[in-house]
Amino acid sequence: MTSTPTASLASSERGRALTILAAILIMLLVDWLPEPAPLERAGDVIALTPDGKACLAILAFAITLWVTEAIPFAVTALFVLLLVPIFGIADYATTVRAGFGNPLITFFVGVLFLSTGFTRSGLGTRLVLHMLRIVGTRTDRVLLGFLVIGALLSMWITDMAVAAVLLPLGVGVLKDAGLRPLQSSYGRALMISCAFGPLIGGIGTPAGAGANLAAVGYLRELAGVEVSFARWMAFGLPSALLMIPVCWRILLRAFPPEIDHLPMERKEIDDRIAALGRPTRLEIWTVAVFAGTITTWLTTPLLAQWSGGLIDPPTQAVALGGGLLLFLPGLRVLVWKEAQRDMDWGGVVLIVAGLSLGVMVFETGAARWLAQVMLGRLADVPGVLQPFVIVLVVAALHMLFSSNTVTGAIIMPILIALAQDLGLDVWTIAAPAAFTSTLAFILVTESPTNVLPYSAGYFSIRDMAKVGIVMTFGAAACVTIAIVAVRALGGG
Protein backbone atom coordinates (compact mmCIF):
# COMPACT_ATOMS: atom_id res chain seq x y z
CA MET A 1 0.00 0.00 0.00
CA THR A 2 1.55 3.32 -1.09
CA SER A 3 1.30 6.46 0.97
CA THR A 4 -0.64 9.42 -0.40
CA PRO A 5 1.06 12.79 -0.97
CA THR A 6 -0.92 14.20 1.95
CA ALA A 7 0.30 11.42 4.26
CA SER A 8 3.89 11.92 3.11
CA LEU A 9 3.61 15.65 3.74
CA ALA A 10 2.21 15.06 7.22
CA SER A 11 5.02 12.62 8.00
CA SER A 12 7.60 15.13 6.79
CA GLU A 13 6.08 17.87 8.94
CA ARG A 14 6.13 15.58 11.99
CA GLY A 15 9.79 14.85 11.34
CA ARG A 16 10.61 18.56 11.19
CA ALA A 17 8.66 19.22 14.37
CA LEU A 18 10.55 16.45 16.19
CA THR A 19 13.87 17.84 14.94
CA ILE A 20 13.00 21.30 16.24
CA LEU A 21 12.01 19.79 19.58
CA ALA A 22 15.31 17.87 19.70
CA ALA A 23 17.26 21.07 18.95
CA ILE A 24 15.48 22.87 21.80
CA LEU A 25 16.15 20.00 24.21
CA ILE A 26 19.83 19.90 23.23
CA MET A 27 20.08 23.64 23.85
CA LEU A 28 18.41 23.39 27.25
CA LEU A 29 20.53 20.39 28.22
CA VAL A 30 23.80 22.15 27.38
CA ASP A 31 22.68 25.23 29.31
CA TRP A 32 21.51 23.11 32.26
CA LEU A 33 24.80 21.22 32.63
CA PRO A 34 27.02 22.48 35.46
CA GLU A 35 30.05 24.59 34.56
CA PRO A 36 33.14 22.39 34.19
CA ALA A 37 36.18 22.92 36.39
CA PRO A 38 38.44 25.76 35.16
CA LEU A 39 41.36 24.80 32.94
CA GLU A 40 44.90 25.81 33.85
CA ARG A 41 47.35 26.40 31.00
CA ALA A 42 50.84 27.74 31.75
CA GLY A 43 49.58 29.36 34.95
CA ASP A 44 46.62 30.95 33.19
CA VAL A 45 43.19 29.91 34.49
CA ILE A 46 40.52 29.61 31.77
CA ALA A 47 36.95 29.10 32.98
CA LEU A 48 33.74 28.54 31.08
CA THR A 49 31.40 31.22 32.38
CA PRO A 50 27.59 30.80 32.58
CA ASP A 51 27.23 33.22 29.64
CA GLY A 52 29.81 31.24 27.70
CA LYS A 53 27.93 28.01 28.35
CA ALA A 54 24.70 29.66 27.21
CA CYS A 55 26.42 30.68 23.96
CA LEU A 56 27.50 27.07 23.37
CA ALA A 57 23.91 25.97 24.01
CA ILE A 58 22.60 28.37 21.35
CA LEU A 59 25.34 27.20 18.97
CA ALA A 60 24.20 23.60 19.45
CA PHE A 61 20.61 24.62 18.70
CA ALA A 62 21.53 26.55 15.56
CA ILE A 63 23.87 23.91 14.13
CA THR A 64 21.28 21.17 14.65
CA LEU A 65 18.68 23.11 12.66
CA TRP A 66 21.14 24.29 9.99
CA VAL A 67 22.33 20.76 9.29
CA THR A 68 18.86 19.17 9.28
CA GLU A 69 17.14 22.11 7.50
CA ALA A 70 14.06 21.52 9.63
CA ILE A 71 13.23 25.20 9.11
CA PRO A 72 14.73 27.64 6.56
CA PHE A 73 18.30 28.50 7.49
CA ALA A 74 17.54 32.25 7.57
CA VAL A 75 14.70 31.64 10.05
CA THR A 76 17.10 29.72 12.31
CA ALA A 77 19.52 32.65 12.05
CA LEU A 78 16.81 35.09 13.15
CA PHE A 79 15.96 32.86 16.12
CA VAL A 80 19.60 33.25 17.21
CA LEU A 81 19.13 37.02 17.40
CA LEU A 82 16.26 36.43 19.86
CA LEU A 83 17.89 33.67 21.90
CA VAL A 84 21.01 35.67 22.83
CA PRO A 85 19.00 38.30 24.79
CA ILE A 86 16.54 35.65 26.08
CA PHE A 87 19.47 33.85 27.74
CA GLY A 88 20.69 37.16 29.16
CA ILE A 89 24.03 37.08 27.31
CA ALA A 90 23.59 40.58 25.85
CA ASP A 91 20.70 42.94 25.27
CA TYR A 92 18.83 42.86 21.97
CA ALA A 93 20.30 46.11 20.60
CA THR A 94 23.87 44.95 21.25
CA THR A 95 23.18 41.58 19.63
CA VAL A 96 21.74 43.10 16.47
CA ARG A 97 24.46 45.75 16.30
CA ALA A 98 27.16 43.05 16.37
CA GLY A 99 25.77 41.66 13.11
CA PHE A 100 24.03 44.46 11.21
CA GLY A 101 26.72 46.92 12.26
CA ASN A 102 29.49 44.86 10.66
CA PRO A 103 30.87 46.26 7.36
CA LEU A 104 30.92 42.72 5.95
CA ILE A 105 27.17 43.07 5.33
CA THR A 106 27.75 45.88 2.82
CA PHE A 107 30.44 43.77 1.15
CA PHE A 108 28.01 40.90 0.82
CA VAL A 109 25.28 43.13 -0.68
CA GLY A 110 27.74 44.72 -3.12
CA VAL A 111 29.03 41.37 -4.31
CA LEU A 112 25.47 40.11 -4.79
CA PHE A 113 24.76 43.16 -6.97
CA LEU A 114 27.85 42.36 -9.06
CA SER A 115 26.83 38.71 -9.39
CA THR A 116 23.29 39.63 -10.46
CA GLY A 117 24.65 42.13 -12.97
CA PHE A 118 26.88 39.45 -14.43
CA THR A 119 23.81 37.42 -15.30
CA ARG A 120 21.47 40.26 -16.28
CA SER A 121 23.93 41.87 -18.70
CA GLY A 122 24.38 38.65 -20.70
CA LEU A 123 28.08 38.59 -19.86
CA GLY A 124 27.69 35.38 -17.87
CA THR A 125 26.45 33.46 -20.91
CA ARG A 126 29.30 34.78 -23.07
CA LEU A 127 31.96 33.78 -20.52
CA VAL A 128 30.41 30.33 -20.02
CA LEU A 129 30.66 29.64 -23.74
CA HIS A 130 34.28 30.81 -23.94
CA MET A 131 35.21 28.64 -20.96
CA LEU A 132 33.53 25.61 -22.55
CA ARG A 133 35.43 26.35 -25.74
CA ILE A 134 38.67 25.90 -23.79
CA VAL A 135 37.90 22.94 -21.49
CA GLY A 136 35.47 21.08 -23.77
CA THR A 137 32.08 19.69 -22.87
CA ARG A 138 33.01 16.62 -20.82
CA THR A 139 31.30 17.16 -17.48
CA ASP A 140 34.27 16.01 -15.40
CA ARG A 141 36.59 18.45 -17.20
CA VAL A 142 34.14 21.31 -16.78
CA LEU A 143 34.03 20.56 -13.04
CA LEU A 144 37.84 20.55 -12.87
CA GLY A 145 37.89 23.79 -14.87
CA PHE A 146 35.67 25.50 -12.31
CA LEU A 147 37.86 24.30 -9.43
CA VAL A 148 41.09 25.44 -11.10
CA ILE A 149 39.73 28.83 -12.20
CA GLY A 150 38.23 29.44 -8.75
CA ALA A 151 41.46 28.52 -6.96
CA LEU A 152 43.74 30.57 -9.22
CA LEU A 153 41.57 33.69 -9.01
CA SER A 154 41.13 33.34 -5.26
CA MET A 155 44.88 33.50 -4.64
CA TRP A 156 44.69 37.19 -5.52
CA ILE A 157 41.04 38.16 -5.03
CA THR A 158 38.91 37.58 -1.94
CA ASP A 159 37.13 34.19 -1.87
CA MET A 160 33.66 35.66 -1.83
CA ALA A 161 34.30 37.83 -4.89
CA VAL A 162 35.52 34.79 -6.85
CA ALA A 163 32.45 32.80 -5.83
CA ALA A 164 30.36 35.71 -7.11
CA VAL A 165 32.12 35.44 -10.49
CA LEU A 166 31.70 31.66 -10.72
CA LEU A 167 28.08 31.52 -9.55
CA PRO A 168 26.40 32.89 -12.71
CA LEU A 169 28.77 30.88 -14.91
CA GLY A 170 27.82 27.64 -13.16
CA VAL A 171 24.11 28.42 -13.24
CA GLY A 172 24.40 29.17 -16.96
CA VAL A 173 26.04 25.81 -17.66
CA LEU A 174 23.39 23.92 -15.70
CA LYS A 175 20.43 25.77 -17.19
CA ASP A 176 21.72 25.25 -20.73
CA ALA A 177 22.04 21.54 -19.97
CA GLY A 178 18.47 21.43 -18.60
CA LEU A 179 19.66 20.29 -15.14
CA ARG A 180 17.24 21.27 -12.38
CA PRO A 181 18.01 22.48 -8.84
CA LEU A 182 18.09 19.71 -6.18
CA GLN A 183 17.37 17.09 -8.89
CA SER A 184 20.76 16.98 -10.61
CA SER A 185 23.74 15.15 -9.13
CA TYR A 186 26.08 17.06 -11.44
CA GLY A 187 24.35 20.31 -10.46
CA ARG A 188 25.26 19.64 -6.84
CA ALA A 189 28.92 18.97 -7.69
CA LEU A 190 29.34 21.99 -9.98
CA MET A 191 27.74 24.49 -7.63
CA ILE A 192 29.66 23.20 -4.61
CA SER A 193 32.85 23.59 -6.68
CA CYS A 194 31.96 27.29 -7.02
CA ALA A 195 32.55 27.51 -3.25
CA PHE A 196 35.32 24.94 -2.76
CA GLY A 197 37.57 26.28 -5.55
CA PRO A 198 37.75 29.80 -4.06
CA LEU A 199 38.16 28.42 -0.52
CA ILE A 200 41.11 26.29 -1.64
CA GLY A 201 42.82 29.08 -3.56
CA GLY A 202 42.37 31.51 -0.68
CA ILE A 203 45.16 29.85 1.31
CA GLY A 204 47.71 30.14 -1.51
CA THR A 205 48.87 33.69 -0.76
CA PRO A 206 48.47 36.23 2.06
CA ALA A 207 46.24 38.26 -0.28
CA GLY A 208 43.79 35.39 -0.71
CA ALA A 209 41.65 36.22 2.33
CA GLY A 210 41.32 38.85 5.02
CA ALA A 211 41.93 36.22 7.72
CA ASN A 212 45.36 35.56 6.16
CA LEU A 213 46.46 39.14 6.75
CA ALA A 214 45.13 38.96 10.32
CA ALA A 215 47.20 35.81 10.91
CA VAL A 216 50.35 37.53 9.63
CA GLY A 217 49.62 40.39 12.04
CA TYR A 218 49.20 38.06 15.02
CA LEU A 219 52.50 36.32 14.25
CA ARG A 220 54.32 39.64 14.07
CA GLU A 221 52.75 41.15 17.20
CA LEU A 222 52.60 38.11 19.49
CA ALA A 223 55.64 36.10 18.43
CA GLY A 224 57.88 38.55 16.59
CA VAL A 225 57.73 36.25 13.56
CA GLU A 226 57.74 37.91 10.12
CA VAL A 227 55.91 35.89 7.47
CA SER A 228 56.73 37.31 4.06
CA PHE A 229 54.65 36.76 0.92
CA ALA A 230 57.11 34.08 -0.24
CA ARG A 231 57.25 32.36 3.13
CA TRP A 232 53.45 32.10 3.25
CA MET A 233 53.35 30.71 -0.28
CA ALA A 234 55.99 28.10 0.54
CA PHE A 235 53.35 26.28 2.65
CA GLY A 236 50.12 27.71 1.21
CA LEU A 237 50.65 27.19 -2.53
CA PRO A 238 51.60 23.48 -2.37
CA SER A 239 48.70 22.85 0.02
CA ALA A 240 46.23 24.49 -2.37
CA LEU A 241 47.60 22.71 -5.44
CA LEU A 242 47.33 19.33 -3.69
CA MET A 243 43.74 20.03 -2.66
CA ILE A 244 42.43 20.71 -6.18
CA PRO A 245 42.66 17.12 -7.53
CA VAL A 246 41.57 15.73 -4.15
CA CYS A 247 38.46 17.93 -4.18
CA TRP A 248 37.75 17.02 -7.82
CA ARG A 249 37.75 13.28 -7.10
CA ILE A 250 35.67 13.68 -3.93
CA LEU A 251 32.97 15.67 -5.76
CA LEU A 252 32.84 13.23 -8.69
CA ARG A 253 32.60 10.26 -6.35
CA ALA A 254 29.93 11.82 -4.11
CA PHE A 255 27.86 13.20 -7.00
CA PRO A 256 28.47 11.13 -10.16
CA PRO A 257 27.39 13.17 -13.23
CA GLU A 258 24.22 11.84 -14.83
CA ILE A 259 25.56 12.97 -18.21
CA ASP A 260 29.07 12.44 -19.65
CA HIS A 261 28.99 15.52 -21.87
CA LEU A 262 27.08 18.76 -21.81
CA PRO A 263 24.44 18.61 -24.58
CA MET A 264 26.36 20.75 -27.07
CA GLU A 265 29.08 20.16 -29.68
CA ARG A 266 32.14 22.35 -30.28
CA LYS A 267 30.57 23.73 -33.48
CA GLU A 268 27.42 24.57 -31.56
CA ILE A 269 29.49 26.46 -28.99
CA ASP A 270 31.25 28.40 -31.76
CA ASP A 271 27.93 29.13 -33.45
CA ARG A 272 26.39 30.37 -30.21
CA ILE A 273 29.37 32.64 -29.53
CA ALA A 274 29.07 34.04 -33.06
CA ALA A 275 25.32 34.51 -32.61
CA LEU A 276 25.92 36.69 -29.57
CA GLY A 277 27.71 39.16 -31.79
CA ARG A 278 29.92 41.89 -30.42
CA PRO A 279 29.73 42.60 -26.69
CA THR A 280 26.87 44.93 -25.88
CA ARG A 281 27.22 48.27 -24.14
CA LEU A 282 25.89 46.71 -20.90
CA GLU A 283 28.37 43.83 -21.08
CA ILE A 284 31.26 46.27 -21.62
CA TRP A 285 30.11 48.37 -18.66
CA THR A 286 29.78 45.26 -16.47
CA VAL A 287 33.32 44.16 -17.40
CA ALA A 288 34.59 47.67 -16.68
CA VAL A 289 32.91 47.72 -13.26
CA PHE A 290 34.21 44.25 -12.40
CA ALA A 291 37.73 45.08 -13.59
CA GLY A 292 37.71 48.38 -11.72
CA THR A 293 36.47 46.73 -8.53
CA ILE A 294 39.05 43.95 -8.65
CA THR A 295 41.86 46.35 -9.56
CA THR A 296 40.96 48.60 -6.65
CA TRP A 297 40.97 45.60 -4.27
CA LEU A 298 44.42 44.59 -5.47
CA THR A 299 45.98 48.06 -5.55
CA THR A 300 44.49 49.60 -2.41
CA PRO A 301 47.72 49.08 -0.36
CA LEU A 302 49.75 50.77 -3.12
CA LEU A 303 47.21 53.61 -3.43
CA ALA A 304 47.29 54.14 0.34
CA GLN A 305 51.10 54.23 0.35
CA TRP A 306 51.30 56.52 -2.70
CA SER A 307 48.72 58.98 -1.33
CA GLY A 308 50.00 58.97 2.22
CA GLY A 309 46.81 57.31 3.45
CA LEU A 310 44.42 59.72 1.72
CA ILE A 311 43.23 57.01 -0.72
CA ASP A 312 42.56 53.90 1.32
CA PRO A 313 39.02 52.62 0.58
CA PRO A 314 37.82 49.67 2.70
CA THR A 315 37.30 46.43 0.76
CA GLN A 316 33.63 46.43 1.74
CA ALA A 317 33.08 49.96 0.42
CA VAL A 318 34.72 49.06 -2.90
CA ALA A 319 32.38 46.08 -3.32
CA LEU A 320 29.29 48.14 -2.54
CA GLY A 321 30.43 50.97 -4.80
CA GLY A 322 31.02 48.57 -7.69
CA GLY A 323 27.58 47.04 -7.26
CA LEU A 324 25.87 50.44 -7.15
CA LEU A 325 27.54 51.51 -10.42
CA LEU A 326 25.42 48.91 -12.19
CA PHE A 327 22.31 51.00 -11.40
CA LEU A 328 23.49 54.22 -13.11
CA PRO A 329 21.03 55.74 -15.64
CA GLY A 330 22.13 55.30 -19.26
CA LEU A 331 24.37 52.36 -18.27
CA ARG A 332 21.76 50.59 -16.17
CA VAL A 333 22.58 46.90 -15.96
CA LEU A 334 20.28 46.36 -12.99
CA VAL A 335 16.79 47.57 -12.12
CA TRP A 336 16.06 47.53 -8.38
CA LYS A 337 12.97 45.32 -8.59
CA GLU A 338 14.86 42.74 -10.67
CA ALA A 339 17.87 42.84 -8.37
CA GLN A 340 15.63 42.50 -5.32
CA ARG A 341 13.97 39.45 -6.84
CA ASP A 342 17.21 37.77 -7.97
CA MET A 343 19.29 38.32 -4.85
CA ASP A 344 19.35 35.97 -1.86
CA TRP A 345 18.38 38.22 1.04
CA GLY A 346 18.19 35.18 3.30
CA GLY A 347 21.96 34.91 2.91
CA VAL A 348 22.32 38.44 4.29
CA VAL A 349 20.24 37.45 7.32
CA LEU A 350 22.40 34.37 7.80
CA ILE A 351 25.63 36.37 7.85
CA VAL A 352 24.16 38.91 10.28
CA ALA A 353 23.16 36.24 12.80
CA GLY A 354 26.39 34.30 12.36
CA LEU A 355 28.45 37.39 13.12
CA SER A 356 26.31 38.27 16.13
CA LEU A 357 26.65 34.82 17.66
CA GLY A 358 30.37 34.61 16.82
CA VAL A 359 31.06 37.88 18.60
CA MET A 360 29.11 36.75 21.68
CA VAL A 361 30.96 33.42 21.81
CA PHE A 362 34.24 35.32 21.65
CA GLU A 363 33.38 38.00 24.20
CA THR A 364 31.99 35.59 26.81
CA GLY A 365 35.24 33.59 26.77
CA ALA A 366 33.50 30.42 25.56
CA ALA A 367 35.67 30.40 22.45
CA ARG A 368 38.93 30.47 24.38
CA TRP A 369 37.76 27.75 26.76
CA LEU A 370 36.59 25.51 23.92
CA ALA A 371 39.79 25.99 21.93
CA GLN A 372 41.86 25.04 24.98
CA VAL A 373 39.75 21.93 25.51
CA MET A 374 40.30 20.88 21.89
CA LEU A 375 43.97 21.87 21.43
CA GLY A 376 45.43 22.02 24.92
CA ARG A 377 47.05 18.57 24.56
CA LEU A 378 48.79 19.28 21.25
CA ALA A 379 52.17 18.52 22.84
CA ASP A 380 51.17 14.86 23.17
CA VAL A 381 50.75 14.52 19.38
CA PRO A 382 53.80 13.44 17.29
CA GLY A 383 55.29 16.43 15.46
CA VAL A 384 54.62 15.02 11.99
CA LEU A 385 50.89 14.67 12.77
CA GLN A 386 50.44 18.02 14.51
CA PRO A 387 49.39 19.89 11.32
CA PHE A 388 46.77 17.18 10.63
CA VAL A 389 45.29 17.50 14.13
CA ILE A 390 45.36 21.31 14.02
CA VAL A 391 43.46 21.41 10.71
CA LEU A 392 40.74 19.08 12.02
CA VAL A 393 40.33 20.93 15.31
CA VAL A 394 40.24 24.39 13.73
CA ALA A 395 37.75 23.09 11.13
CA ALA A 396 35.50 21.97 13.99
CA LEU A 397 35.81 25.37 15.66
CA HIS A 398 35.04 27.08 12.36
CA MET A 399 31.67 25.32 12.24
CA LEU A 400 30.79 26.90 15.57
CA PHE A 401 31.96 30.46 14.99
CA SER A 402 30.58 31.07 11.46
CA SER A 403 33.34 33.60 10.76
CA ASN A 404 36.86 33.34 9.34
CA THR A 405 37.98 36.37 11.31
CA VAL A 406 36.52 35.21 14.62
CA THR A 407 38.00 31.71 14.16
CA GLY A 408 41.43 33.18 13.45
CA ALA A 409 41.18 35.63 16.33
CA ILE A 410 40.39 32.80 18.72
CA ILE A 411 42.81 30.14 17.62
CA MET A 412 45.91 32.01 16.44
CA PRO A 413 46.93 33.54 19.80
CA ILE A 414 46.38 30.17 21.53
CA LEU A 415 48.54 28.24 19.04
CA ILE A 416 51.27 30.87 19.14
CA ALA A 417 51.37 30.59 22.94
CA LEU A 418 51.38 26.78 22.77
CA ALA A 419 54.24 26.76 20.28
CA GLN A 420 56.28 29.12 22.45
CA ASP A 421 55.62 27.08 25.60
CA LEU A 422 56.68 23.87 23.84
CA GLY A 423 59.71 25.38 22.11
CA LEU A 424 58.31 24.55 18.65
CA ASP A 425 58.63 26.53 15.43
CA VAL A 426 55.77 29.03 15.68
CA TRP A 427 55.07 29.34 11.94
CA THR A 428 54.96 25.56 11.44
CA ILE A 429 52.32 25.27 14.18
CA ALA A 430 50.40 28.43 13.27
CA ALA A 431 50.29 27.89 9.48
CA PRO A 432 47.75 25.02 9.51
CA ALA A 433 45.44 27.07 11.73
CA ALA A 434 45.84 30.16 9.54
CA PHE A 435 44.94 28.14 6.44
CA THR A 436 41.98 26.39 8.05
CA SER A 437 40.53 29.71 9.24
CA THR A 438 39.39 30.17 5.63
CA LEU A 439 38.70 26.51 4.72
CA ALA A 440 34.99 26.35 5.55
CA PHE A 441 34.05 23.13 3.77
CA ILE A 442 31.35 21.58 5.98
CA LEU A 443 28.50 24.01 6.71
CA VAL A 444 26.98 26.50 4.30
CA THR A 445 26.69 28.87 7.25
CA GLU A 446 30.43 28.93 7.90
CA SER A 447 31.30 31.42 5.18
CA PRO A 448 29.68 33.90 2.77
CA THR A 449 31.69 32.11 0.07
CA ASN A 450 29.44 29.09 0.62
CA VAL A 451 26.20 31.05 0.90
CA LEU A 452 26.48 32.50 -2.61
CA PRO A 453 26.50 29.16 -4.53
CA TYR A 454 23.96 27.74 -2.07
CA SER A 455 21.60 30.58 -2.98
CA ALA A 456 21.28 29.15 -6.52
CA GLY A 457 19.33 26.24 -5.00
CA TYR A 458 21.17 23.32 -6.61
CA PHE A 459 22.42 21.70 -3.38
CA SER A 460 21.22 21.39 0.20
CA ILE A 461 23.09 22.05 3.43
CA ARG A 462 23.20 18.28 3.91
CA ASP A 463 24.79 17.79 0.46
CA MET A 464 27.60 20.16 1.31
CA ALA A 465 28.15 18.67 4.76
CA LYS A 466 28.44 15.18 3.24
CA VAL A 467 31.33 16.08 0.94
CA GLY A 468 32.67 18.77 3.26
CA ILE A 469 33.52 16.34 6.05
CA VAL A 470 35.49 14.16 3.64
CA MET A 471 37.15 17.22 2.07
CA THR A 472 38.19 18.47 5.52
CA PHE A 473 40.12 15.25 6.12
CA GLY A 474 41.56 15.53 2.60
CA ALA A 475 42.61 19.13 3.29
CA ALA A 476 44.24 18.07 6.57
CA ALA A 477 46.27 15.45 4.70
CA CYS A 478 47.26 17.93 1.97
CA VAL A 479 48.39 20.60 4.45
CA THR A 480 50.34 18.00 6.47
CA ILE A 481 52.10 16.61 3.37
CA ALA A 482 52.95 20.10 2.12
CA ILE A 483 54.36 21.31 5.45
CA VAL A 484 56.33 18.14 6.14
CA ALA A 485 57.73 18.09 2.57
CA VAL A 486 58.68 21.76 2.54
CA ARG A 487 60.31 21.50 5.97
CA ALA A 488 62.25 18.42 4.84
CA LEU A 489 63.54 20.41 1.87
CA GLY A 490 64.65 23.21 4.17
CA GLY A 491 61.92 25.63 3.12
CA GLY A 492 59.12 27.44 4.95
Return averaged pLDDT per consecutive 10 residues of the chain, 492 residues in all.
Answer: 60 84 94 86 77 89 80 81 90 81 71 74 74 84 91 79 80 85 92 94 81 76 77 91 97 94 78 83 85 78 72 75 83 77 69 72 75 72 83 80 64 73 78 87 84 88 93 94 87 65
**In this predicted structure, what is the pLDDT of residue 177?**
85
| Cβ atoms within 10 Å, residue 116 | 25
Domain spans, the chain: 105-342
**In this predicted structure, what is the pLDDT of residue 246?**
97
**In this predicted structure, what is the pLDDT of residue 1?**
47
**In this predicted structure, what is the pLDDT of residue 210?**
66
| Cβ atoms within 10 Å, residue 425 | 13
